[in-house]
Structure 1
C-alpha cells in the first residue's frame, strides 16, 4: 500500500458535502480579476478554447438555421451538453496549474481533464435529463396557449411570461448544480453527487454573490449573441478561469484528497 492510499480518508468518514465559506456580493468582481490574470498568463491555451467554442456555437446556429429541425437542434444541444463539461475542465486545469506553479500546456490540461472525465460524463447525463425535461416543459407551455392567426403583444405576453418563468426555474437548477461542481471534480477525488450537492449548498448559502455571478454570466452570453458569438473567444475563457477562482474562494474541499 503506497503512502497516498494509507493516508486517504475513508469514504464513509467524509461529509455528504464540502463546507462552504461566506461570500460578499462583490466577490464575483474579484473572481473576474483573477480569471483575467490567468487568461493573460496563458493566452494561447485559453484562447484556443475560446476559438473552439466559437466554432461549436456557429455550427449549432448554422445547423438550426439551415435545417430548422427541432429534433436535430435537440440532438446537437444534447451533444454539446456532453462535450461542454469536458472542455470546461481544461480551462479549470489551466488555472489550477498556474496556481500550483506548474507548466501550462494544452496537452497537460487535456490529460488533467481526462482524469475527471468519468464524473464529468455523469454530470453531463444529469444536465441532459434536465434539458430534456426543460424542452418538454417548454412544449407543454406552447400546447396550453392557443395559436392565434395574428397575435399582438398583449396576446403574447401571458405566453412569454409563463415561458420565461419556466426557463428561469430550470436555468436556476442548472446554475446551482454546476456553479462549483466541475472544478471540484477536477481538483479532488470525489463523486458527482457530492460535488453537485456541495455546489447547490454553496449557492443557497451565498445568494447575493451568486445572483451577481449569474447576472455577469448572462451579460456575457448577451454580449456573445450580439457579436455573432465572436466575443465568446475571450469571454468564455474568462468565465472559465473565474469559475475556478470562485470554487477556490467558496468551497473548503480540504478533507478530500487532491486529484493529482
Structure 2
C-alpha cells in the first residue's frame, strides 16, 4: 500500500502545498495602520527596542567612520545603502519581539534570538543573496563615483552624481524591497523555505503596487529622517519599521497552508 504524504499539525501535505502563499487585497491606508501598530509594539517593549536601535546606530557610525577614513564618498554611499539592503535580515529579532507581545509574554532579546534560530538556515540564505546584491551595488556606486566625481563639489557635478546614483540605487532598492517585503516575516512565522517566501513577497508586491509603493515611500522617508538626524532618529525609527513590517505581513499574507512555528492569535486589521 502506498504511503500517504506526511501532514503536519496545521498545514497541507508537503507535496500538495503551492509555491506561493496567497495575498489579501491591501488598501492604500494600510501602511499608516502598520506604522501605528509598529509604534504600539515599540511602546510595549521600549527597553529592548531602544537597545536594538542603539546597536543599529552604533553600526551606522562605524560604517560612516570607516568609509570616511579609508575610502571616499562613493564607498560611503555604497556602504550605507548596503547596510540598508541588509536591514531586513537584521529585523528578524524585531519580529521575534512582536511575536512575544502577541503571545502575551514579557519581550526579551534573548528569547527573540532563540526564535530566530528556528529559521536561521533560510535567513542565512537570504543574507547571502543580499550580500551579492550589495557587492554589485557597491561596484556600481564606485563606478558612478569614477565617472561623476564630486571631489570639487561643484553644484553641477553634485546634482549629476546624486541624480545618477539615486536612479541606480532606486532600481536596486526596488529589487530588494520586492524580495524582502514579506519573505523574512513569512519564514519567521511559518515552516517554509526562502524561495517560497521570496516568490510570495514578489507576488504580493506586484498585486498591490500602489499600497506597497506607499509603504516603500514611508520607509524611505523614515530612513531619510534618520540620516538627517545624524542617525539618532534611527534608534526609534528602525524598531518601529521592523515591528510594522511584521504586522504588514500578518495582515497581507495568508500562509495558513504552512505549519506555524509559533501559536499566535489572528491579526486584527482594524486596530
Same fold (TM over 0.5): yes
**Segment drifting more, 4-13 vs 19-28:** 4-13
Counterparts of 1:74 and 1:150, CA distance in 2: 17
Residues 1-260 of structure 1 aligned to structure 2 (within 5 Å): 5=8, 8-68=11-71, 84-142=87-145, 145=147, 152-154=154-156, 159-260=161-262
Segments of structure 2 that go 5 or more residues without pairing to the other structure are: 1-5, 263-271
CA pair 194-126 structure 1, distance change in 2 beyond 3 A: same
TM-score, normalised to structure 2, is 0.83
Determine the structure 1 residue equivalent to 2:3.
none
Segments of structure 1 that go 5 or more residues without pairing to the other structure are: none
Counterparts of 2:18 and 2:61, CA distance in 1: 43
RMSD between aligned residues? 3.0
Number of residue pairs the alignment of both structures matches: 257
Alpha carbons 1:89, 1:183 under 8 Å: kept: yes
Alpha carbons 1:18, 1:251 under 8 Å: kept: yes
Instruction: Write the deviation string for residues 76-113 of structure 1: whole angstroms up to 9, x where unpaired.
Output: 77995897545311101111121232342221111001
CA pair 174-149 structure 1, distance change in 2 beyond 3 A: closer
Alpha carbons 1:85, 1:120 under 8 Å: kept: no
Structure with the higher fraction of residues in helix conformation: 1
CA pair 5-259 structure 1, distance change in 2 beyond 3 A: same
Alpha carbons 2:34, 2:248 under 8 Å: kept: yes
Counterparts of 2:184 and 2:59, CA distance in 1: 20
TM-score, normalised to structure 1, is 0.87
CA pair 125-82 structure 1, distance change in 2 beyond 3 A: farther
Query: Offset of 1:186 from its aligned partner?
Result: 0.6
